Every structure is written in structure tokens, then in C-alpha cells.
Amino acid sequence: MSLPGRRQDWLLLGLALVLVSAALATYHLTRPTTLTVAAGPNGGTEPALLRAYADELARRRLGIRLKVVSYDGVRESAEALKAGKADLAVVRPDVAMPGNALTLAVLRDLSAFVAAPSSAGIKGFPDLAGKRLGMLASRTADRALVGTLLAHHDLELMTEMPVGTVPPKAVALVALEETEVADALRDHRIDALALVTTPTSPVAMRMVSLVKEDGGDEEVALFGVPDSAAVLARWPRLQSVTLPAALFGGNPRVPAEDVATVGSSYRLMARADLSRSLAAEVTQHLFEMRTALADTVPAADAVTFPAYEHTAGATSARLPIHPGAIDYYEREQETFIERYESWIYLIAILAGGVGSTVAWLRQRLGRIRRERIEVATGRLLELRSEARRETDPGRLEAMAAEVDDLAATVARQALNRPTELRILGAANVAIDATRSTVRRASMRRSESAASVGPGLPGAPPAN
């Protein structure tokens, strides 16, 4: 291979490498980012909400994708986030709080309160001493919270029913299915019903209605933890909650006045090292899609932002908020330029390099083409000079064949790539002139041979 051809191959290889690098960078910037979400409890409201959210993200072809992995409970989903098996997780802080977790959004607020028929004479937690307290059997994560509130009032929660009466400093837990609550109240198997749930949820409404019906006069004692500040000081992963008056009915008003209590929450939390831009994007899409998600999962209406007064308080709270979520809440999200600033500079540099390489390569290839045509033109002119002096028929025939080959070379170069008209015109003139010179030289040789017949003086000797 000639030196110009070898140079051309190296130039093409370099250009290909630059283009591949630019293509890879573009793919990295435009492909969707998939985040793994650990969701628990399996079969619960939160996993269903996040699966609907993941489906909506995929349907709208947004830059974020969610891979929802279900776990048996919120403790297991929290452990998955802590172990680095997930980027996001459903976390209930009072059950398990990973050290690397920061809040993006509150999926559902929970309130802890007790409803009792007015005939039971139970007006507050101290009155539960020696009583039997019903709880929904499926809410195993709620038992620890109820036990905490009873312990604050120097009461012990007994998870096994005692033989005979309940000790005076204890409260017996009676686990019930929802369908068993009415009968348990009527048969006096329970004295009150404890709930740890979203107060406005259908389940809460149904349970309080059952307690009201058991009372006969539709009066019900509904109470929480009035000294919530003291409880929060001891258990900071809980939160203060207020049940508004008449939430469960206006005639009679249940509750009659606002009820202060404590509760917890199901939170969508992200690992602390998740980029701010991704955290902001996940949070933004969740709130933007909240109405659409509520069509299939009504619990989406309960999604809200974690309360905070100022940025410093949000990032230094006992349940801190992810800086990316704060960017969304305070409308300070990174712009596209800020998010991909380094990549944009890199692509700009690569694009400049590609442009310069292409321009240089085009110029170099054009020079190589010109050189080939110029070399062919120079050779044609040399053949023309030689043909003027040549008298050997064989040599003239070889010259004519070489002129044809050079003409073909020029034609191929002109067909493959655009060629300057000046260079191509000079080559065409050289081809015509050289062919004409070779033809005249051949004709002179033929005429000279014909004028000197065989056997005449001056004729060449016969072979």
C-alpha cells in the first residue's frame, strides 16, 4: 500500500474513534436512569402506589424508570436500602430507620389513637389499665408503637391473653380481623379499639363507625396522647399529629374537639449519596402524577411533602430531607446546563475535535486526490515528450496503453470525489495531447516503413 493510502486509513480510524466516543456520551446522557425501589409491606398500599408510579413513568417515556421490589415488611425494605440493594425504599421511621436514608416524600401519615364506646368509661390511656385492647391483626408494625405509648403511661402491653383478669398495670392485646371487630365489641371481648392509620382512610372511618354503633347512643370516646411533646422528646422518630374535631362525624361531633396525638409515616426515602438531580426528578414526577395515580390507587391523594420551616431545619432534622427534594420544594432545581455541565463541555470539546478532524481529513483527502491527478498529469506530459522521439513500434504501443491506464485513474478519482475543475481540465488536456502525440508518432513510423519498400536501398534486411 502506498504512503498516502496508509495515511488515509489511519485518518479514517481516528475519525471513527472520535465518532464512537461522541455516540457513547450521547447515549449515556439520553438513556433512562433506572432506580431500584424496595417496597413493603408486600401486598400493602405503598407497593401498589409505587408500582403505579413506575408504570406511569414508563408510559410517559420520562428519563427515570423505577424497578419495584416487594418485601414482606417495612423493616426488610429499610434493610435493603441500608445494605445498598436499593436506591429508594419505603421506610417507616419508628420501625426501622436506615442511617443512609433521606426523605423524598411522605407517602402516608399515620395517627395513633384509641376509640372506645362511651359506656366503657375509658377517656385516656391511663384508663386502659387492666383492659383488653383490640387491634387489627394485619397491622403487626403498629404493635410496637402502641406498646411505646402504653409504656409512656407505665402500662405493659401483653401480646398473649392472660388466664383470668388482666393485671392492673397491663393492657391485653387482642388481635382481630376487620370482620371480627363488631362481634368482639358486642361480646365485650375487647373494651376499646386502637388504631394506627391515616385518619381519613376508609378503614379508620369503618372502625370508628363500628365503635359508635356498639355504644348504642352513637357516642364514642376518642383520644390520643395529649402530652405529645414529651413523647417526641423520648422517641424522636415519631411525629406530632392533630385529629380535627368532627372528623368522624358532625352529629354528634366525633371527636368533640381537636385531638392531639402522635404518629408515624410511610416515607419514600433515598440513599444519601443519590444525586440531587435524580432525587429532585423523582420527587417532581411523583407530585406531578399524584392526581393521575389517584385514579388507580386512591392512596396517592395522601402523598405530601415533609413539613419544615427552613432549609437548614430540613437538612438537620432527625428525619432529614434529601437536598434534591428540597431543590424541588423550593423551586431551585438544577437546570439542564447545570446538571450536565461537565458532559456538555466534554461533548463540545469532542464536537470541536470531530469538526476539526473532519475538516482536516477532507482537506488532506482532497490534497491526496489532487496529488494523484497531478502525478498522472505529470506522467502524461513525460510520455508526450518521449513519444516525440520514439520510433520503436512496441514502445509506442506500450505508451498508448499507459495513457489509457492514466486516463482511467483520473476518471476514477473524478467520479469518487469532487475534483477542482482546474486540475481536472489540465489532466484532460494532457490526456488528449499525449494521445495525439503517440498517434502521430505511430503514423510517422508507419509512413516511413511504407516509403522504404523491401529490397530497396535503405530497406532493412529481411529476417
Residue 25: what pLDDT? Answer: 58
Q: How high is the pLDDT of residue 6? A: 53
Name the CATH code of domain 111-263 (choices 3.20.20.140, 3.30.2010.10, 3.40.50.10490, 3.40.190.10): 3.40.190.10
Contacts of 334 (CB under 8 A, 6+ apart): 276, 277, 280, 327
Rounded Cα–Cα distance for residues 37 and 90 (Å): 8
Are 125 and 155 in contact, with CB atoms under 8 Å apart? yes
> How much is the pLDDT for 3?
44
| Confidence band for 124, pLDDT divided at 50, 70 and 90 | very high
267-310 per-position pLDDT tens digit: 999 999 999 999 999 999 999 999 999 999 999 999 999 988 77
399 or 462, higher pLDDT: 399
What pLDDT shows up at residue 453?
56
pLDDT confidence of residue 442: 82
How many whole angstroms separate alpha carbon 451 and alpha carbon 101? 110
Question: Quick one: pLDDT band at residue 426, thresholds 50, 70, 90?
Answer: confident
User: What is the per-residue pLDDT for 403?
Assistant: 85
Is pLDDT at 15 greater than 80 in this prediction?
no
The tens digit of pLDDT for each residue in 19-42 reads: 666 666 565 556 789 999 999 898
Architecture per CATH, domain 32-106+268-339, reads as 3-Layer(aba) Sandwich (3.40)
To 10 degrees, the CA torsion angle through 77, 296, 137, 36? -10
Q: What is the pTM of this model?
A: 0.69
Which candidate, 96, 97, 78, 95, places its Cα nearest to that of 37? 78
Predicted confidence (pLDDT) per residue in 411-420, tens digit: 887 777 666 7
What are the CA-CA distances from residue 306 to residues 107, 177, 271, 311 (Å)? 10, 32, 17, 12
Q: Where are the domains of the chain?
A: 32-106+268-339, 111-263, 342-450
What is the model's pLDDT at position 218? 63
Region at 130 (left for phi over 0; alpha for psi -120 to 50; beta for the rest): left
SS (H, E, C) the chain: CCHHHHHHHHHHHHHHHHHHHHHHHHHHHHCCEEEEEEECCCCCHHHHHHHHHHHHHHHCCCCEEEEEEECCCHHHHHHHHHCCCCCEEEECCCCCCCCCEEEEEEEEECEEEEEEEHHHCCCCHHHHCCCEEEEECCCHHHHHHHHHHHHHCCCEEECCCCCCCCCCCEEEEEEECHHHHHHHHHCCCCCEEEEEECCCCHHHHHHHHHHHHHHCCCCEEEECCCCHHHHHHHCCCCEEEEECCCCCCECCECCCCCEEEEECEEEEEEECCCCHHHHHHHHHHHHHCHHHHHCCCHHHHHCECCCCCCHHHHHHCCCCECHHHHHHHCCCCCCHHHHCHHHHHHHHHHHHHHHHHHHHHHHHHHHHHHHHHHHHHHHHHHHHHHHHHCCCHHHHHHHHHHHHHHHHHHHHHHHHCCCCHHHHHHHHHHHHHHHHHHHHHHHHHHHHHHHCCCCCCCCCCCC
